[in-house]
Amino acid sequence: MQMVDEKNKRPFRVVVVGAGIAGLTLSNALQRAGIDHVVLEKHKQVVHASGASIGIWPNGSRLLAQLGCLDSIKKACSKMKVSYTRNSDGKAFITSKLFDEISKRHGYEFFLLERMEFIRALYNGLPSRTPIKTGCAVKSISESVDGVRVFLEDGSHEDGDIVVGCDGVASSVRKIMWDHANEAVPNTITTKEMQSLKVNYKCLVGLSPAIAQLPSGSMTVVHNNGFSFLIMTQPQLTFFFVFKKLDQTHYWPNFPKYSRKDIETEASLLVDLHVNDDVLFGEIWNNRLRGDLINVEEGIFQHWHSGRSVLVGDSAHKFTPNIAFGGNCAMESVATLANLIKAKLETSPHGLFSHPSQEELSAIFQTYQGQRLPRAQEISWLSTFNTRVQACENACFNFIAKYCFPLATDGMVGGLFAATVKKGVKLDYVPLVGQPEGTVPWEDEKRLRDFPSQKSAYWKTVLTLGMLVVLCVIFGVRF
């Protein structure tokens, strides 16, 4: 490790673990701030087949526009046009132009594309790929008053001032951070906190070629008894998710594991079920390009940082994916952390060659968590609620799905999501050029304009949501 009197001869350095959505977004943000860093990815390739689709909400698009990635994303997908909500027989009882309401309010569209193509756009959009190192699995981390050293499975190491865990729900940085925290002060990270990550649902997920009877640019939710289909389409691809309630809740680290036989068995129970009037799920599954059975983890940890380590994205909070806010929330957290680090270095005597003390770093991390935790809790509730309504998990959620949601207009639903989207975070130090205008102002942009036409819709939405919460309380629903 560097000696204390040599610290100002080297720049402040960030060691980022994970080159997924959060890690690549952070690399782009740090490069634009001139902050030295390295990104360690365990896979041999950054762009590899993984997952199915990702939805980009306007709050994500605004940040991606700053990073120079939005044009590539637009080219990789087509406009989303319509959403359908259907009963188990495939008959639609809600047809919505929600996507138009989203773009009307925020200027940006809702974008849908294959997750792999999104990663490609983030990777190709980096000002430089030099900081990205692949085939670098983390083995251990050591800390001192001078910084951190991250040891890799291949025997090499990387030094820096802080470690940022962007390595997902099964984060190695989080596990090492827990161990260090409990070694320093026993029971800092309790078993209860560790088990706040839980699994109530499993998901059959994948993609297949486009099907003529499922028009491009459509989203379909099909309610069933204890499970739901979510089908989303683009010109060449159909993305599918089948969310199914488990018989019991599983807590970290004792999550179910699924074999290829389990996948086929699960699919066999679904192939004869309708996803619309004309298409059975089997037509999608039997032509799949990829398909897997995974756990749907959910939970928010109490400690997002300890020592010189800090967590971002799924390593700190995991949402169910039904409303596609996870990746967007991770990108917002990246922006928040990058803004705070940049501001600290700018006001330090040695600028980018400054090395904040542990106390100063802890203050940055605590501010970061303090700003992001309420946001994560809000999105977690919305995601959890929608997952259970779509699956008609019990009588209350079935009532909400079949009798309450159909009463909501597109404008009301658009207003509900706008209340969340408008709280998006952007980089403070990168210009935002050519931002499209919407009817709903961003909370971090101080506009003098008033939007009286939105106030009525907003309060109608709040009232509707309040009624749904009351129903949940009456029925004794617990999340």
- 66-105 tens-digit pLDDT: 999 999 999 999 999 999 999 999 999 999 999 999 999 9
Q: Does residue 52 sit within a domain?
A: yes
- φ/ψ (deg, to 5) at 286: -70, -15
- φ/ψ (deg, to 5) at 194: -60, -40
Give pLDDT, residue 453.
Answer: 42
Which of the 8 DSSP states describes residue 300? E
Give pLDDT, residue 9.
Answer: 81
- φ/ψ (deg, to 5) at 457: -60, -40
Same domain, yes or no: 285 and 332: no
Same domain, yes or no: 272 and 319: no
Q: Does residue 376 sit within a domain?
A: yes
pLDDT tops 70 at residue 260 = yes
Give pLDDT, residue 410.
Answer: 96
Which of the 8 DSSP states describes residue 259? -
Q: Does residue 341 sit within a domain?
A: yes
**Pairing of β 13-17 and β 138-144:** unpaired
* Among candidate residues 260, 281, 298, the one where a domain is terminated: 298
CATH number at residue 188: 3.50.50.60
Structure tokens at 474: 């009456």
Same domain, yes or no: 137 and 202: no
The SS3 of residue 351 is helix
Give pLDDT, residue 70.
Answer: 98
Whole-angstrom Cα Rg for the chain = 23
Same domain, yes or no: 150 and 52: yes
Q: Does residue 238 sit within a domain?
A: yes
pLDDT-derived band at 51, boundaries 50, 70, 90: confident
Which is nearest to 296 in space by CA: 322, 276, 274, 278? 322
Same domain, yes or no: 178 and 281: no
How high is the mean pLDDT of the chain? Answer: 93
Q: Does residue 386 sit within a domain?
A: yes
- φ/ψ (deg, to 5) at 323: -110, 10
Same domain, yes or no: 24 and 78: yes
pLDDT-derived band at 1, boundaries 50, 70, 90: very low
Rounded CA gap, 363 and 165, in Å?
A: 18
Q: Does residue 344 sit within a domain?
A: yes
Are the C-beta atoms of 113 and 216 separated by less than 8 Å?
no
Q: Does residue 257 sit within a domain?
A: yes
Same domain, yes or no: 191 and 329: yes
In 3-state terms the chain splits into helix, strand, coil percentages (rounded to 5) of: 40, 25, 35
- In DSSP terms, 423 is beta-bridged to none
Which of the 8 DSSP states describes residue 451? -
Reported as a single tens digit per residue, the pLDDT across 303-315 is 999 999 999 999 9
Give pLDDT, residue 50.
Answer: 87
Structural domain harbouring 293: 198-298
Same domain, yes or no: 336 and 464: yes
Which of the 8 DSSP states describes residue 42? S
Number of structural domains (the chain) is 2
Average pLDDT over residues 450-455: 43
Same domain, yes or no: 191 and 209: no
* Among candidate residues 234, 266, 298, the one where a domain is terminated: 298
Residue by residue, DSSP assigns 358-388 as HHHHHHHHHHHHHHHHHHHHHHHHHHHHHHH
Q: Which residue has the tokens 């501010």?
A: 367
Reported as a single tens digit per residue, the pLDDT across 184-196 is 999 999 999 999 9
* Among candidate residues 269, 298, 327, the one where a domain is terminated: 298
pLDDT tops 60 at residue 461 = no
Same domain, yes or no: 288 and 307: no
pLDDT tops 70 at residue 7 = no
Give pLDDT, residue 464.
Answer: 52
Q: Does residue 479 sit within a domain?
A: no
Same domain, yes or no: 275 and 345: no
Same domain, yes or no: 17 and 62: yes
